[in-house]
């Protein structure tokens, strides 16, 4: 049995290095008041407090569970006794805040949170800060820079400024967040008489150096060993998704307690959670596309061990504080070792033993490369959008959408970079974008450097799956903790598996069935794109909810669609026809549908061919209703306005007297849904009442990939 | 930003004035700066001192020391504001900075403001420059006259100093920029509003236009600010040309103030139709016509000597300035 490492169990450390005895005396007094008579400081805690109190920029890099919050709780207590202002703790995640709020309340600190969950109470909280009634306020960067907080900030005395998860302000960190951009600038300007305490559990040398540079001179660095004794690591190579589904199904109940399964995409979370549920395992998805309220309920249930597994993206990440998580399974590779370390660090805080199982598959590298390649907007887009703004006396998003054939999300992404770098500013009511007085430049060199580092870090992560050395030591060494030794309890150290890396046939079949079965809905568009006046017009008779067989290119049907579409044979394989018919069977019976039609193409007959075979398989008739003028390929149209316009000008009904009351509208690959929307609309104009879209694959990434 | 510069902002700026806390007025800062020089201290020292330490060091009353401590307590909040503007390309320059408009320091002495907001290249301040002032309501003839003079000034590589208001100010700005010149503007109102204009932003980015202002970048127009602003134009420029002045207007009071303080030579269009122009010429402004050129500018001394027969020049007690005083 390894020793119990507990959060508030203040183990006897070495005698702290005291530079200012009077501060030490006071700190010891408060420590005993807050944590009991026998409490002593853990290695480095006192030194960090003393540094903070003597106005040094203090950077604490210590493993989760070391007691970073003790440092600022205690410092706050002392500063408040001295008559200083409120402690502002900037923290990126809601879950983390809730946990810390509770911890702070136990210590009799008057505290509150400022984030999106307390919308109604916000004015009260801000007023309490103005009246100097609060000791600590936890705030998200988004809220901190929102106008209601900013406008009252001038009336608030800030005593101590704490930046939690400080690696987020480093461009070189594994988890740089744009919302931290403003914070970074404030820190750069912050006068030296305001104490700054930055904390993180996950920073390698490069990030630490960057933070030190940002904080200016005289940074006090508190850095301790990162090894987590209670974690037992195993790595299992499972190229196919089916196998990984099967593995989790077979093994999850062999692990006692509850835990987290990390996926890279929201889609994977949903699918895997549903699969486990169907097989009697209480697993629930948790990611950024789910409503806040739902997430809070899930957190609550998880905390009370009512859930076996949270199937989560990185949304469940930093600082989540449940101390009896007994396993973390990675369904896919995290993007780098730092994320990996952080995620497995969720487990086993108060347990003697917890498992960290890394499954990795063949698609992981593609997904990770996608993240890296799409992290920064391209030079061309950025320059063009900037120039467009610079040439005008204020522009709206709508202006940009009309001006550019670029996805709205892409425009927004470019804008967020331009704003973060201070090249563009926003005025509200109404929202207008202006170029600032700063001269624009596209920092390709920096973006390339960051992308290169991310690729290296990905390689480091991949290397973990090959190493035969101690997995814990490998991980921690990648975070530049040179003190790490062999853990003696990972699979490589022990030379034996905790859980088998082989599977039984039964679970593979279950997984395969499931993955084949999951189809996607095609949500109908209900509004036309904004017109020149910025109005959105409702589509009078939108399509019905449609069916899509697969994610384009994804293992199973998605892969088949990709192969067949470009095979040159001009024919989708029979398997896809059978599968299509199977999916449509219920719908055809339920809705009493007699006809199928298809989206015409001037370039290829592959869709017509498929629709005809599908109709035959379903036992209904295929009608050739639509035709098309020459236009540009829809996939070259990047935003709603252009996609819809392009489709609208191209398609027409060639024989209106044949249009039936109900019809299934077939296309091969759906992306923006404008083609299906426009074709459906033209059919309804000719008297059709219900149009049911059907597509073989979805390539939009909408809800599809759901990369986080 | 240096610690002294930070201290000046913390103590003097009204960017972050909460209830019950007042930043130091320019006159109060003047007094404090003198005391600091006397005690061989720098403004940054005040940031790390307790109330008692301040009382002792400055030999001031408790109330004043408490005010300083309160202002210092707002430091963090204040720099949220500073960084907000910084991120829009609007920076601050304080009297503790070398880049502070040095001609203002020399000519206005202690009464020049503790800090300026600015956008653009401060190096423009080193250029020789001539100010152009005048009414907001300009006739075609006024515009022609001003255009001719501004072009001549730009041709001789002088920068233009202006107040950035409508009318004569805008004309000098536009003419100068379109003929390849440089412009320094001391604004009396919102710098942000000014920076909504594409042409303005481009000129600032290219280093051709420098905007300076003592008022918060999002503040509106205020007559008091506009009056104060006049003397910055006269102190910055080697000479000022008044195109058209109407009694009781901003140009009028600016010229009058300069005739009294003689920051720099002031020229005025000798136009028989503008009686108020003639009145200013009578009081000492130098009469000019369309043939005027910067090549024969009067020096400050020559300008002052025009008045010496009428009045005994008071001794100007411009002391040796330290960086922040």
The DSSP letter of residue A619 is T
Query: What is the spatial distance between Cα B173 and Cα B181, in angstroms, rounded to a whole number?
Result: 9
pLDDT of residue A505: 83
pLDDT score of A383 more than 80: yes
Torsion of the alpha carbons at A132, A136, A141 and A146, rounded to the nearest 10:
-20
Compute the distance between CA of residue A341 and CA of residue A327 in angstroms, rounded to an integer.
13
- For residue A430, whether the previous peptide bond is cis, meaning omega lies within 30 degrees of 0, is yes
Candidates B1, B18, B83; nearest CB to A185:
B83
Per-residue confidence (pLDDT) for residue A703, from 0 to 100: 41
A653 near A620, Cβ under 8 Å? no
Backbone angles phi, psi at A490, to 5 degrees: -95, 170
User: pLDDT of A165-177, one tens digit each?
Assistant: 888 888 766 666 6
Residues, chain A, total? 708
Q: H or E element: which one contains A283?
A: strand A283-286
Partners of residue B201 in chain A, C-beta under 8 Å: 390, 434-437
pLDDT above 60: residue A660: yes
Nearest to A690 by CA among A582, A584, A593: A593
Q: Which of A514, A52, A484 is nearest to A244 (CA)?
A: A514
**How many CB contacts within 8 angstroms connect chain A with chain B?**
110
pLDDT higher than threshold 60 for residue A533: no
Residue A125, pLDDT > 60, answer yes
**Mind listing the domains of chain B with CATH numbers?**
3-87 (no CATH), 118-308 (3.40.50.450)
Q: Residue B86 in contact with residue B78, Cβ under 8 Å?
A: no
Coil, strand or helix at A610: helix
Average pLDDT of chain A to the nearest whole number: 87
Q: Is the pLDDT score of A6 beyond 70?
A: no
pLDDT tens by residue, A321-367: 788 999 999 999 998 898 898 889 888 888 889 999 999 887 788 77
CA dist., res. B140 & res. B163, Å (int): 20
Beta bridge partners of A112: A137
User: What domains, with CATH codes, occur in chain A?
Assistant: 21-223 (3.40.50.300), 231-369+460-505 (3.40.50.300), 382-445 (1.10.10.10), 519-698 (3.40.50.2020)
How many helical (H) and strand (E) elements, i.e. helices and strands, does chain A have? 26, 23
Q: How confident is the model at residue A3 (pLDDT cuts 50, 70, 90)?
A: very low
Q: Determine the pLDDT at residue B317.
A: 46
C-alpha to C-alpha distance for A465 and A339, rounded to whole angstroms? 15
More confident residue, A122 or A267: A122
Q: Are A539 and A528 in contact (CB under 8 A)?
A: yes
**CA atoms of A256 and A554, how far apart (whole Å):** 33
Q: Please indicate whether residue A267 is annotated as part of the active site.
A: no
When pLDDT is cut at 50, 70 and 90, the band that residue A535 belongs to is: low
Catalytic residue among A12, A19, A32, A68: A68
Position A699 scores a pLDDT of 85
Phi, psi (deg, nearest 5) at residue A161 = -115, 115
Query: How far is CA A110 from each of CA A128, A133, A162, A512, rounded to the nearest angstrom?
Result: 10, 8, 16, 54
**CA angle, residues A353, A359, A361, in degrees to nearest 5:** 170
Tokens of B124: 């423009």
Q: Nearest residue of B to residue A162 by CA position? A: B76
| Smallest CA–CA distance from A153 into chain B, residue | B77
Residues 6+ apart with CB under 8 A from A380: none
B46, B72 Cβ separation under 8 angstroms: yes
Contact A595, A632 (CB under 8 A): no
Sign, Cα dihedral of A102, A104, A109, A112: negative
Greatest distance between any 2 Cα atoms in chain B: 65
Two tokens at A618? 């379903």
**CA distances to A224, A389, A403, A416, A480 from A440, in Å:** 41, 12, 20, 14, 36
* pLDDT averaged over every residue in chain B: 89
pLDDT tens profile B243-297: 999 887 889 999 999 999 999 999 999 999 999 999 999 999 999 999 999 988 9
Q: How many angstroms separate the CA atoms of A703 and A520, rounded?
A: 10
Residues A185, A421: Cα–Cα separation, whole Å: 10
Q: Which helix (H) or strand (E) holds B69?
A: helix B62-73
Interval A189-206 mean pLDDT: 88
Nearest-angstrom CA–CA distance, A242 and A531: 46
What is the three-class DSSP state of A272? helix
pLDDT tens-place string over residues A22-79: 999 999 999 998 888 888 898 899 999 999 998 779 999 998 778 888 999 999 999 9
Across the interface, whether the CB atoms of B87 and A422 are under 8 A apart is answered yes
Which of A129, A193, A422, A426 is the mutation pick for testing B, counting most B CBs within 10 A? Answer: A193
Determine the average pLDDT of the residues in A241-258.
Answer: 94
- Tell me the two tokens of residue A44: 């480095």
pLDDT band at A9 (very low <50, low <70, confident <90, very high): very low
Identify the helix (H) or strand (E) that includes residue A160.
strand A158-164
ipTM: 0.88
DSSP label at residue A332: S
Best A157, A191, A441 member to test B by mutation, with max B CBs in 10 Å, is A191
Given CB atoms, is B24 within the 8 Å cutoff of chain A?
Answer: no
Of the candidates A256, A269, A272, the one whose C-alpha atom is nearest the C-alpha of residue A348 is A256
Confidence of residue B325 (pLDDT cuts 50, 70, 90): low
The full length of chain B comes to 325
Would an 8 Å CB–CB cutoff place B198 in contact with chain A?
yes
Cα-based distances in Å from B238 to B67, B241, B265: 40, 10, 7
Q: Measured between CB atoms, does B321 come within 8 Å of chain A?
A: no
CA A343, CA A328: separation in Å to the nearest integer? 8
Rounded to an integer, what is the distance from CA B193 to the centroid of its chain? 19
Q: What is the pLDDT of residue A705?
A: 44
pLDDT score for A317: 62
The pLDDT value recorded for residue A177 is 67
Q: Within 13 A of A497's CA, how many CA atoms are on the CB side?
A: 10
SS3 track for A366-433: HHHHHHHHCCCCCHHHHHHHHHHHHCCCCECHHHHHHHCCCCHHHHHHHHHHHHHCCCEEEECCCCEE
Cβ-contact A215, A187 below 8 angstroms: yes
- Residue A595 has phi, psi (to 5 degrees) of -135, 150
Nearest CA in chain B to A88: B76
Return the number of other C-beta atoms located less than 10 Å from residue B259's C-beta. 17
Cα–Cα distance, A468 to A471 (Å, whole number): 8
Residues of A in contact with B6 (CB under 8 A): 191-192
Closest CA in chain A for residue B3? A191
Give the pLDDT band (50/70/90) at residue B18: low
Residues B1/A192, Cβ–Cβ less than 8 Å: no
Q: Three-state SS for A244?
A: helix
First to last CA, chain B: 17
Instruction: Point out the residue among B73, B74, B79 whose CB comes nearest to the CB of A186.
Output: B79
Say how far residue B18 (Cα) sits from the centre of its chain: 26
Mean pLDDT of A378-390: 94
- Backbone dihedral angles phi then psi of residue A197, each to the nearest 5 degrees: -120, 120
Residue A92's alpha-carbon distances to A328, A520, B30, B191, in angstroms, are 22, 33, 44, 33
| Inter-residue contact A62 to A223 (CB < 8 Å) | yes
Check whether A13 has a pLDDT greater than 50: no
The rounded percent of chain A whose pLDDT value lies above 70 is 94
Average pLDDT over residues B146-174: 95
Contact A172, A453 (CB under 8 A): yes
Residue A484 has pLDDT above 90, yes or no: no
> A686 or B111, which is more confident?
A686
Chain A residues in contact with B192 (beta carbon < 8 A): 427
Angle made by CA atoms B31, B36, B40, in degrees to the nearest 5: 150
How close, in Å, is residue A427 to chain B by CA atoms?
10
State how far the Cα of B213 lies from the Cα of A277, in Å rounded to an integer.
65
B117–chain A nearest CA distance, Å? 13
Residue-wise pLDDT tens digits, B119-129: 999 999 999 99
Compute φ and ψ for A66, nearest 5 degrees. -70, -30
Please give the pLDDT value at position B313. 46
Question: The pTM is what?
Answer: 0.77
Nearest CA in chain A to B18: A155
Q: How far is CA A630 from the centre of its chain?
A: 40
Confidence (pLDDT) at A173: 66
Handedness of CA A681, A685, A688, A689 (dihedral sign): positive
Q: pLDDT tens, B214-244?
A: 988 887 666 667 778 899 999 999 999 999 9
Average pLDDT over residues B1-13: 90
Contact residues on chain A for B204, CB-CB shorter than 8 A: 437
Pairing of strands B209-213, B115-119: antiparallel
pLDDT per residue over A413-436, tens digit each?
899 889 888 899 998 878 999 999
Q: Which of B76, B85, B122, B192 has the most A C-beta neighbours within 10 Å, making it the best mutation to test the interface with A?
A: B76
Within a 10 A sphere around the Cβ of A250, how many other Cβ atoms?
Answer: 19
What is the distance in angstroms between the Cα of A392 and the nearest Cα belonging to chain B?
5
């Amino acid at each position: 049995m390894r020793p119990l490492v507990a959060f508030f169990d203040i183990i006897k450390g070495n005698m702290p290095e005291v530079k200012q005895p009077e501060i030490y005396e006071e700190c010891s007094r408060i420590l005993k008041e807050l944590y009991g008579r026998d409490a002593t400081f853990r290695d480095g805690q006192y030194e960090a407090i003393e540094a903070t109190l003597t106005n040094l920029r203090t950077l604490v890099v210590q493993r989760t569970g070391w007691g970073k919050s003790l440092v600022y709780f205690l410092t706050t207590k002392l500063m408040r006794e001295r008559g200083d202002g409120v402690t502002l703790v900037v923290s990126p995640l809601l879950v983390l805040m809730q946990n810390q709020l509770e911890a702070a309340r136990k210590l009799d600190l008057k505290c509150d949170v400022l984030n999106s969950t307390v919308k109604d109470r916000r004015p009260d909280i801000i007023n309490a800060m103005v009246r100097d009634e609060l000791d600590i306020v936890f705030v998200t960067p988004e809220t901190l820079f929102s106008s209601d907080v900013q406008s009252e900030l001038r009336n608030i005395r800030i005593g101590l400024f704490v930046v939690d998860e400080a690696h987020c302000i480093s461009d070189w960190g594994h988890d740089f967040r744009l919302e931290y951009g403003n914070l970074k600038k404030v820190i750069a300007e912050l006068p030296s008489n305001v104490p700054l305490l930055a904390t993180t559990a996950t920073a390698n040398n490069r990030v630490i150096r960057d933070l030190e540079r940002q904080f200016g001179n005289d940074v006090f660095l508190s850095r301790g060993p990162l090894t987590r004794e209670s974690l037992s690591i195993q790595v299992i190579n499972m190229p196919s998704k089916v196998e990984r589904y099967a593995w989790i199904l077979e093994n999850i109940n062999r692990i006692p307690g509850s835990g987290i399964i990390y996926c890279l995409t929201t889609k994977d979370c949903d699918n895997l959670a549903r699969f486990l549920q169907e097989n009697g395992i209480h697993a629930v998805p948790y990611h950024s596309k789910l409503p806040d309220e739902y997430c809070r309920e899930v957190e609550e249930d998880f905390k009370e061990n009512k859930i076996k597994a949270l199937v989560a993206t990185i949304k469940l990440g930093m600082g989540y504080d449940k101390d009896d998580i007994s396993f973390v399974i990675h369904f896919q590779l995290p993007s780098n070792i730092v994320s990996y370390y952080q995620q497995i660090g969720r487990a086993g805080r108060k347990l003697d033993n917890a498992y960290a199982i890394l499954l990795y598959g063949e698609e992981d590298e593609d997904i990770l490369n996608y993240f890296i390649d799409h992290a920064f907007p391209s030079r061309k887009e950025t320059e063009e959008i900037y120039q467009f703004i610079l040439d005008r006396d204020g522009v709206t998003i709508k202006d940009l959408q009309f001006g550019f054939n670029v996805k709205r999300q892409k425009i927004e992404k470019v804008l967020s970079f331009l704003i973060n770098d201070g090249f563009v500013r926003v005025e509200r009511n109404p929202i207008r974008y202006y170029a600032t007085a700063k001269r624009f430049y596209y920092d390709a060199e920096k973006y390339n450097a960051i992308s290169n580092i991310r690729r290296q870090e990905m390689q480091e992560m991949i290397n973990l799956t090959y190493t035969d050395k101690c997995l814990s030591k490998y991980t921690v060494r990648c975070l530049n903790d040179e003190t790490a030794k062999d853990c003696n309890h990972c699979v490589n150290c022990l030379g034996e598996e905790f859980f088998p890396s082989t599977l039984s046939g039964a679970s593979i079949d279950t997984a395969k069935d499931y993955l084949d079965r999951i189809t996607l809905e095609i949500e109908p568009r209900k509004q036309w794109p904004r017109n020149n006046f910025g109005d959105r017009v409702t589509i009078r008779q939108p399509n019905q909810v449609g069916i899509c067989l697969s994610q384009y290119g994804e293992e199973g049907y998605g892969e088949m669609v990709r192969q067949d579409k470009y095979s040159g044979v001009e024919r989708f394989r029979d398997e896809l026809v059978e599968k299509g018919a199977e999916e449509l069977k219920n719908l055809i019976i339920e809705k009493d549908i007699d006809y199928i039609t298809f989206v015409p193409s001037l370039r290829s007959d592959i869709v017509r061919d498929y629709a005809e075979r599908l109709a035959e398989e379903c036992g209904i008739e295929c009608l050739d209703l639509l035709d098309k003028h020459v236009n540009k390929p829809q996939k070259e149209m990047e935003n709603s306005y252009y996609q819809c316009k392009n489709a609208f000008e191209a398609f027409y009904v060639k024989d209106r007297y044949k249009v039936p009351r109900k019809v299934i509208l077939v296309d091969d690959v759906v992306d923006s849904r404008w083609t299906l929307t426009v074709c459906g609309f033209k059919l309804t104009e000719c008297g059709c009442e219900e149009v049911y879209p059907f597509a073989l694959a979805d390539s939009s990434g909408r809800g599809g990939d759901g990369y986080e | 930003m240096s610690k002294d510069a930070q201290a000046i902002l913390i103590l003097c700026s009204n960017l972050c004035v909460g209830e019950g806390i007042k930043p130091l007025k320019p006159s109060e800062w003047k007094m404090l700066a003198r005391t600091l020089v006397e005690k061989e201290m720098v403004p940054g020292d005040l940031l790390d001192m307790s109330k008692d330490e301040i009382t002792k060091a400055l030999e001031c009353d408790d109330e004043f020391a408490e005010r300083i401590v309160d202002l210092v307590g707002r430091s963090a909040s204040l720099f949220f504001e500073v960084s907000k503007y910084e991120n829009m390309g609007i920076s601050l320059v304080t009297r503790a900075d070398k880049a502070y408009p040095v001609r203002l320091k020399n000519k206005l002495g202690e009464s020049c403001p503790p800090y300026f907001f600015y956008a653009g290249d401060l190096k423009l301040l080193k250029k020789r420059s001539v100010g152009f002032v005048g009414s907001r309501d300009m006739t075609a003839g006024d515009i022609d006259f001003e255009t001719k003079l501004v072009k001549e000034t730009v041709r001789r590589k002088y920068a233009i100093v202006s107040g950035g208001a409508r009318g004569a100010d805008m004309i000098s700005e536009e003419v100068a920029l379109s003929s390849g010149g440089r412009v320094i503007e001391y604004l009396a109102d919102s710098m942000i509003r000014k920076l909504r204009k594409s042409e303005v932003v481009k000129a600032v980015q290219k280093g051709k236009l420098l905007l300076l202002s003592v008022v918060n970048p999002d503040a509106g127009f205020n007559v008091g600010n506009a009056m104060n602003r006049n003397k910055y134009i006269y102190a910055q420029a080697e000479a000022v040309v008044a195109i058209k002045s109407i009694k009781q207007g901003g140009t009028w009071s600016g010229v009058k103030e300069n005739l009294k303080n003689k920051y720099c030579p002031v020229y005025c269009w000798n136009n028989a139709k503008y009686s108020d122009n003639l009145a200013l010429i009578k009081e000492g402004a130098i009469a000019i016509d369309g043939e005027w050129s910067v090549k024969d500018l009067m020096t400050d001394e020559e300008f002052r000597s025009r008045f010496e027969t009428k009045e005994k020049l008071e001794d100007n007690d411009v002391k040796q300035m330290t960086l922040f005083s």
